[in-house]
């Protein structure tokens, strides 16, 4: 008999990954604002 998938574990893993990604984005924005560059957005005016 096949084992039952643990959906709660998968959900927690996804939530943890989502939270880590959000924290990384927040950290990057904070560092960007501290440097005052604003050019690292990837878009340049021509």
H-helix segments, the chain: 7-35
Contact between residue 32 and residue 38 where contact means Cβ atoms under 8 Å apart: yes
Q: Which of the two residues, 1 and 22, has the higher pLDDT score?
A: 22
Distance (Å, whole) CA 46 – CA 44: 6
pLDDT digit string, tens, across residues 13-44? 999 999 999 999 999 999 988 887 655 555 55
Does residue 46 have a pLDDT over 90?
A: no
pTM: 0.58
Token digits of residue 36: 């005052």
Whole-angstrom CA distances from 33 to 1, 36, 39, 40 are 56, 5, 11, 11
Per-residue confidence (pLDDT) for residue 2, from 0 to 100: 86
Higher-pLDDT residue of 2, 25: 25
């Amino acid at each position: 008999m096949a084992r039952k998938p643990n959906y709660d574990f998968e959900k927690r893993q996804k939530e943890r990954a989502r939270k880590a990604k959000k924290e990384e984005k927040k950290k990057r924005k904070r560092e960007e604002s501290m440097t005052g560059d604003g050019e690292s957005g990837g878009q340049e005016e021509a």
